Amino acid sequence: MIQHISRLPKWLFVILAVFLLVFSGGITIHLIEPDTFKTIEDGWWWALVTISTLGYGDLVPVSSQGRFFAAVLLLIGAGLLSSYFFMFAAYAVRSQQAYMEGAAGAALVDHVIVVGWNARAFYLISRLENDILIIDQTLNSHPMYEQKHVSFIKGAANHTADLHKACVENAKELIITADQHLNEEAADAQTILTILTAKRLNPSIRCVAELISDQLTEQALAAGADAIVKTKQVIGEALLSQHKPD
């Protein structure tokens, strides 16, 4: 029995302890001063008010035994409530820290997942009004925490567990930016692996992929890419458009 109680969450243990304290305290004060606390319900009400430190004063022990018991009850109850609020505050801090570090899972529907953090991702996210989730394994903290519609998961988009945390099953679109830290072939291969993983978990998700080279275009389409942006081609055409022929 003791082992089962020790396994309870701390917050539940505190609530249970407060309940037992009110229950036993109400009965005890009724037995100590039956003239003042004529019913057990009066005792329970007094115990609850005393523990919460509200102290309405409608029922007050008059005997020395009753006052001593009230002091003990107040000290124990205040300690339990203080520990509860401390645990609540600590939980809030841990939750915020997990959110900032990308360790907390998301609960999103019809959102857009952006893979990778770079100038292109920032440009894209800055112009989208949808719920956005960034997934990147190089960041140590949320890069756009001030934007309430942008969430962050620290992880690899080609890992099933990390895509589950990103709620890929409920996402409507996956936009993959190429990893500039890898060589061209490795970056494009990683993009294709991400497409395969995402499509396996959510066959209906729209996948937009950035490829650095042309070598793996067919493989990306076969993996399930719905649209492909070729970095070299886009940049080359942009530069060409600015060319002024003689």
Q: Among the residues of 52-178, which ranges form H helices?
A: 64-101, 119-126, 160-165
Query: Count of H helices and E strands in the chain?
Result: 9, 6
Tokens 């997942």 belong to 113
What dihedral do alpha carbons 22, 27, 32, 38 form, nearest 10°?
A: 110
The whole-model pTM stands at: 0.68
Which structural domains are found in the chain, ordered by start? 2-101 (1.10.287.70), 112-241 (3.40.50.720)
Cα–Cα distance, 207 to 204 (Å, whole number): 9
Bridge partners, 174 (sequence order): 113, 207
Tokens of 135: 């997934």
CA-to-CA distance for 76 and 59, rounded, in angstroms?
19
Q: Find out whether 193 and 175 touch, Cβ atoms under 8 Å.
A: no
Residue-wise pLDDT tens for the chain (246 aa)? 444 445 557 777 778 888 898 899 999 999 999 988 999 999 999 888 888 766 666 788 889 998 999 889 888 888 887 877 888 787 778 877 877 777 777 789 999 999 999 999 999 999 998 899 999 999 999 999 888 899 999 999 999 999 999 999 999 999 999 998 899 999 999 999 999 999 999 999 999 999 998 899 999 999 999 999 998 777 777 777 777 776
